[in-house]
Amino acid sequence: MAGAAVGIVNVTGYIGVELARLLLEHPEVRLVSITGRSAAGKRLGDVFPHLAGSDLTIETELAPVDLAFVALPHGESAAAVAALLERGVRVVDVGADFRLKDVAEYEKWYRVTHPAPEYVAEAVYGLVELNREQVAGARLVASPGCYPTGAVLALAPAVKAGLVEPDIVVDSKSGVSGAGRTLTLPTHYAEANETISAYALDGHRHLPEMLQALRGLAPGTELSLTFVPHLTPMTRGILTSCYAKLKDGKVSAGERAREEVTGVYRDFYRGERFVRVAATSPQTGQTRGTNLCLVYPTVDLRTGRLIVVSCIDNLVKGGAGQAVQAMNLMLGFPEETGLKSAAVFP
Amino acid sequence: MAGAAVGIVNVTGYIGVELARLLLEHPEVRLVSITGRSAAGKRLGDVFPHLAGSDLTIETELAPVDLAFVALPHGESAAAVAALLERGVRVVDVGADFRLKDVAEYEKWYRVTHPAPEYVAEAVYGLVELNREQVAGARLVASPGCYPTGAVLALAPAVKAGLVEPDIVVDSKSGVSGAGRTLTLPTHYAEANETISAYALDGHRHLPEMLQALRGLAPGTELSLTFVPHLTPMTRGILTSCYAKLKDGKVSAGERAREEVTGVYRDFYRGERFVRVAATSPQTGQTRGTNLCLVYPTVDLRTGRLIVVSCIDNLVKGGAGQAVQAMNLMLGFPEETGLKSAAVFP
Amino acid sequence: MAGAAVGIVNVTGYIGVELARLLLEHPEVRLVSITGRSAAGKRLGDVFPHLAGSDLTIETELAPVDLAFVALPHGESAAAVAALLERGVRVVDVGADFRLKDVAEYEKWYRVTHPAPEYVAEAVYGLVELNREQVAGARLVASPGCYPTGAVLALAPAVKAGLVEPDIVVDSKSGVSGAGRTLTLPTHYAEANETISAYALDGHRHLPEMLQALRGLAPGTELSLTFVPHLTPMTRGILTSCYAKLKDGKVSAGERAREEVTGVYRDFYRGERFVRVAATSPQTGQTRGTNLCLVYPTVDLRTGRLIVVSCIDNLVKGGAGQAVQAMNLMLGFPEETGLKSAAVFP
Amino acid sequence: MAGAAVGIVNVTGYIGVELARLLLEHPEVRLVSITGRSAAGKRLGDVFPHLAGSDLTIETELAPVDLAFVALPHGESAAAVAALLERGVRVVDVGADFRLKDVAEYEKWYRVTHPAPEYVAEAVYGLVELNREQVAGARLVASPGCYPTGAVLALAPAVKAGLVEPDIVVDSKSGVSGAGRTLTLPTHYAEANETISAYALDGHRHLPEMLQALRGLAPGTELSLTFVPHLTPMTRGILTSCYAKLKDGKVSAGERAREEVTGVYRDFYRGERFVRVAATSPQTGQTRGTNLCLVYPTVDLRTGRLIVVSCIDNLVKGGAGQAVQAMNLMLGFPEETGLKSAAVFP
């Protein structure tokens, strides 16, 4: 569907504007309409000078498009998505409303009544590496949250292969852009700079999403997973460190354990364009601006514990980039179309 | 011993110069001599302009002092320490050579032959909160490493009380100053800025130190502890996140578990001047420039896992500050002398 | 007046809380009362955990004190100041309302009607290095703005000595804390990090303050001064670069010009505790957390242009610190009392 | 010359590796050979993991190519360039050896004997916006330094139009990557972070380059230009602030002066793809990763002084990007080929 017309609902957040950057440079689609509330009527390039090359104006209502990205807060995206689907528009929702299959679980974690539960069953969870075929045929894709992207890609091969005990610790470190563009004291420069903190220690909304995705890989397993995110003084990037004991007898003893685990990961991600099993401990900076997820599995030989580190750019693979990756499949383009740029390093 | 003369061997690293800052402002001692190699003959204030108020010149040999701080790299400090002890000088060694009681373990991790094993038994591990009395009477204090300080203070109350299973994950995030002042590519500004990475995944030298300290609190326990440090884009601070399952029946179910765990921590640290059990999730920035350790214990109620977060300034409580704290005890001053400053925030 | 009771009106901004830090550690005064609006009723240590050692609670009205610091926004401080003076309380106003002697000029730049013009004449401009005696005897001190502090201290010796032509460029680089604690998009972490920009190109409110102070040093001179501030990605610090052509014949030609200019500066600041004429190009980091101003004059020999670089911590010498310095004089303490700490470096 | 084979001599510095990033994504050329010294024999993707998608190996000698980029230090590039020219290879030298037309001036500033003065006359200064035609036909292009790029593009329209007096101040703020990848104490993370400083106050090597380019625009004018660079705590970007008095009568009085000056700038840069006259004060972050130069001219109406602010990414428009821009002209491609990416913001 070359030349497809696409649009963005709520372009003014960091995921929204990153979608605009990627879609304006995408060789196969035309970004024809963008909406926003406070900024309606303004030129995109005036609100975001790095996109001054575009002539788009921010509108209040989306013009007709073949496919729309919805970048609204949870509780708001569902209604917008429903309206678009009813107009026959295919949708990639980068918000949270259609990620969880269990509506009660959604309502417990997000503390809102689901505005459009009738579309939940149909929505395809857009972690392409796990759901490639379903995404390609989907009318509605629920694009994953930033933390689940890094955590699930780090753990999926081990969980699928049954390598680890179900007791898992996921310790994530996110750049401040992950908290969005809304002004808050913790994201005020002088408060966030030169300091690191753990947050959401009572439970983060991305936890049930991780559990749902991992359970899908190991049906019947009861996972006991603790997830703690940390606000890290950098703009972009999520590094996720995962810890779980290896099951007895699943891998050899000694150094060979590392090779075997790495082999499981390489097999799992063979042929993937956007997941790379790294040969050495990766850094978030190596993914800046890209749709890559770097995954590095190793074994703590003293304790028999699997350690997996993953790195993504939270706004690209953890946001706008994988939404475009899903769109590519939905519209029949090669999966990497418009997503080939290397990281801007240093 | 008011007016005691003190000195610093190798003042030119970050711990060394932080010792100089603290000792120059200390009301009860006189910093009379500092040494360094490459910078010998230069004025301290020329090498470190923030100390331009001092008239000290960096020397090659330490002048006579009552107590010396030795801030040399591992493998080098032992000989310097031995020579000082033989001259009758009391020593606080901020290096690694006397931290581990098992010389073979030291030699395995540090890959050097121990230069002065005859002093190992005598050395007192300088984590004052655990060893206050021994420190006061010591001739030689081995001041703890930065990571063990944060990790052991986070875990000690739980391990001592037998609250947790011996399977423990310690995930630490350190500012770049922790890597020292020696030039390296990973600590080159453009390489370290705006990125985070895990390192030492094959095992970090601070691991045996953590194990030794924790085993001392729970003799007979076989700890299975995985420690992963992360290089974080900020100058100072270590945040350590610790994870361990609560033993069955040790605390009540539900919300009360948190209160009970917090109670154990408050009891353990009651009266401590430099460890504060925080009421909310702390940040490293709250300890910048200070000798404080903030400890925040909580329970992941879904999994029954204890989570403890601790924050320190790696150069103060994790380095020069606790060395001065030890000196205060050794010389008979109130423990907080010269260490009362609040953090410089923001 | 040892043991004097002091208070802070509006402790919750960055200057207010930095005043609290300095006053809580001040050996000669007791901080007995602090006020704030949104945070009234809360403990200081809960709002600012780095001050958790204090038992103060934020109040709505200031308790009786001998001297008060007022840290309110312009247009609001004047009324509070007037009320305090009428109660017999001496005041250091760290806001802008009493800095300009020309009320019309104030009203033009700040776009408000001056709420208490009757106190303008009495107010002493609190740049202690220029007005030491008047400050000591003042009932009301108008503490300087952050930019004028750095710029006036950089230029004063040259202007006073008539070394330079009246055409002056002042290019300042400020850390983000200078913009305050109020949330704004330009000070949102992801917007301010890793980028630098010039602002207030139409004229900044600190310009008339600089002109007033410099004209006082060279009565009759018509200064043509351009001031451009830049928002710099760091929390604290202002570096100010000043440029002005040397008048013909005022200094020797060649290298000697530099020595002579440096001599003028050393003479001007001889005996000053908080201004240091640096021997090499200084950095803002060398002043972090301190009341120091580092001044480095040199001459561009190719063009005969004087270049002066100054560095301060905007929240200390450019804010709370010099307000305490003024207080020390007002209450008869040695000027450096409570302000002796060295910078926290790195 | 689609499909031209290109190479990079010394790929391991920041400009070298940025060239690799741009050339690997360039649609019309093939990067076939890269060299380096210490890293010879290693895969590019192992040394620079963000380029892991490439199969190139770092060699000691450059394979046959149609055009080579030389990214060697000054004093070393000239010999390499000469050898390439003699093999019939066209060259873009991103080093300093061929920028200055006056060999004596070069030798004075760079303190080396010029290794290949016979090619100086032929070299075309590669600031494409000023020398488009000569670049297109050149065999050897001397790509500009980072600071001159920002300063000359900021000043060129005003100098060409004779708007300003010849007394000019250029105050530049550069990210730390501008100092290169060689390890130094000032670029060690903990030394460069959270601090800003002026350097090269005795004169920077980029000054004669600025003067040469500006004199070319206003023959016969004797410029008195002071240039001061500042090391700024961010990885990429240069913001340059330029100050010069408007000549009497060249523009109208009052607000219209700004419009007229802006008009001069818009006319000068009309049709340029990589210089944009900004409508509001720009930020370096708006150019991150791109070949853009944002220029913002305004007038300080109080003093009649022209202020021009420019922003570039020092590694792209100030380095690798404009070198590729020059290559595009030399090989007959549209100038923007391979350089269209928008900035990665935030």
Is A346 inside any structural domain?
no
Confidence at residue D34, expressed as pLDDT on a 0 to 100 scale: 98
Neighbours of A214 (CB within 10 A): 22
Question: Which chains form contacts with chain D, at 3 or more CB pairs under 8 Å?
Answer: A, B, C
- pLDDT score of B245 more than 90: yes
Given a cut of 90, whether residue A2 has pLDDT beyond it is no
pLDDT in tens, B62-120: 999 999 999 999 999 999 999 999 999 999 999 999 999 999 999 999 999 999 999 99
pLDDT of A205 over the 90 cut: yes
In the 8-state DSSP scheme, what is residue C7? Answer: E
Is it the case that residue B314 has pLDDT exceeding 80?
A: yes
User: Domain for residue A320, yes or no?
Assistant: no
10 Å Cβ neighbour count for C217? 17
Looking at the partner chain, which of B194, B225, B282 has a beta carbon nearest the beta carbon of A197?
B282
Do B104 and B157 lie in one domain? The reply is no
CB atoms within 10 A of CB A279: 12
Structure tokens at B181: 């002042």
Beta strands in D222-312 (DSSP E): 224-232, 238-246, 275-277, 293-300, 305-312
Query: Dihedral angle at the C-alpha atoms of D204, D208, D213, D217, nearest 10 degrees?
Result: 120
Domain tally, chain D: 2
Distance from the B194 Cα atom to the nearest Cα atom in chain C, whole angstroms:
9
Whole-number pLDDT of residue D38: 87
User: Does A1 score more than 80 pLDDT?
Assistant: no
B211: CATH: 3.30.360.10
pLDDT band at A329 (very low <50, low <70, confident <90, very high): very high
Residue C20 inside a domain? The answer is yes
pLDDT for B10 equals 97
Interface probe for A, chosen from C188, C197, C235 (most Cβ of A below 10 Å), is: C188
Mean pLDDT within A314-328: 98
Question: Quick one: pLDDT at residue C303?
Answer: 97
**Amino acid code (one letter) for D49:** P
Q: What pLDDT sits at residue C276?
A: 97
pLDDT at B165: 97
Q: Are D283 and D311 in contact (CB under 8 A)?
A: yes
Query: Distance (Å) from the C-alpha of residue A344 to the closest C-alpha of chain C?
Result: 13
Please say if the pLDDT value at position A219 is more than 80. Answer: yes
Tell me which chain D residue has its CA closest to the CA of residue B195: D235
Encode pLDDT of C35-79 as tens digits: 998 899 999 999 999 999 899 999 999 999 999 999 999 999 999
- Indicate the pLDDT class of residue A234, thresholds 50, 70 and 90: very high
Are D53 and D93 in the same domain?
A: yes
pLDDT at C38: 87
Given pLDDT bands bounded at 50, 70 and 90, which one contains residue C230?
very high
Mean per-residue pLDDT for B292-301? Answer: 98
Q: Output the pLDDT for position C12.
A: 96
Of D122, D157, D190, the position where a domain reaches its end is D122
Residues of D taking part in catalysis: 146
Q: Which of A14, A146, A188 to mutate to test the interface with C (most CBs of C within 10 A)?
A: A188
C329 belongs to a structural domain? no
Total H helices, total E strands in chain A: 10, 14
Any idea what the Cα angle at residue A235 is, between residues B292 and B183, rounded to 5°?
Answer: 65
3-state secondary structure A267-297: HHCCCCCCEEECCCCCEHHHHCCCCCEEEEE
Domain boundary among A107, A122, A137: A122
Whether residues D17 and D114 fall in one domain: yes
Whole-angstrom CA distances from A344 to A51, A262, B98, B253, D203 are 17, 27, 44, 49, 31
We report the CATH number of the domain holding residue C108 as: 3.40.50.720
Question: Are B153 and B109 in the same domain?
Answer: no
Q: Would residue B270 count as lying in a domain?
A: yes
What SS3 class is residue A109?
A: helix
The pLDDT confidence band at residue A202, using thresholds 50, 70 and 90, is very high
What is the extent of the structural domain holding A18? 4-122
The per-residue pLDDT for B2 is: 75
The rounded mean pLDDT for chain C is: 97
Whether residue D25 is contained in a domain is answered as yes
| % chain B with pLDDT above 90 | 97
Asked if C102 and C155 sit in the same domain, the reply is no
Q: A182 and A279 share a domain? A: yes
Q: Are residues D233 and D279 in the same domain?
A: yes
Q: What is the mean pLDDT of residues D303-329?
A: 98
A156 and A115 within one domain: no
Q: Could you read off the pLDDT of C266-283 as tens digits, one per residue?
A: 999 999 999 999 999 999
Q: Examine the domain organization and report whether B173 and B302 are in the same domain.
A: yes
Q: Please indicate whether, in this complex, the C-beta atoms of D228 and C241 are within 8 angstroms of each other.
A: yes
- Has residue D319 been placed in a domain? no
Select the residue of A46, A49, A236 nearest D286 (Cβ to Cβ).
Answer: A49
D50 with D154, same domain: the answer is no
What's the pLDDT at B61? 96
pLDDT of residue A174: 98
* Residue contact C236–B346, C-beta within 8 A: yes
Residue A15 has pLDDT above 90, yes or no: yes
- What pTM was computed for the model? 0.97
Q: What is the mean pLDDT of residues C302-318?
A: 98
pLDDT digits (tens, 9 = 90+) for D240-256: 999 999 999 999 988 99
Does A110 fall in a domain? yes
Mean pLDDT of A66-78: 96
| Same domain as B104, residue B16 | yes
> Would you call A185 exposed, middle or buried from its count of C-beta atoms within 10 A (0-12, 13-18, 19+)?
exposed
Two tokens, residue C10: 């509006």
Mean pLDDT of C6-29: 98
Instruction: Give the number of A-C residue pairs with CB atoms closer than 8 Å.
Output: 52
Cα dihedral D190, D194, D200, D206 sign: positive
- Same domain for C114 and C152? no
pLDDT in tens, C8-19: 999 999 999 999
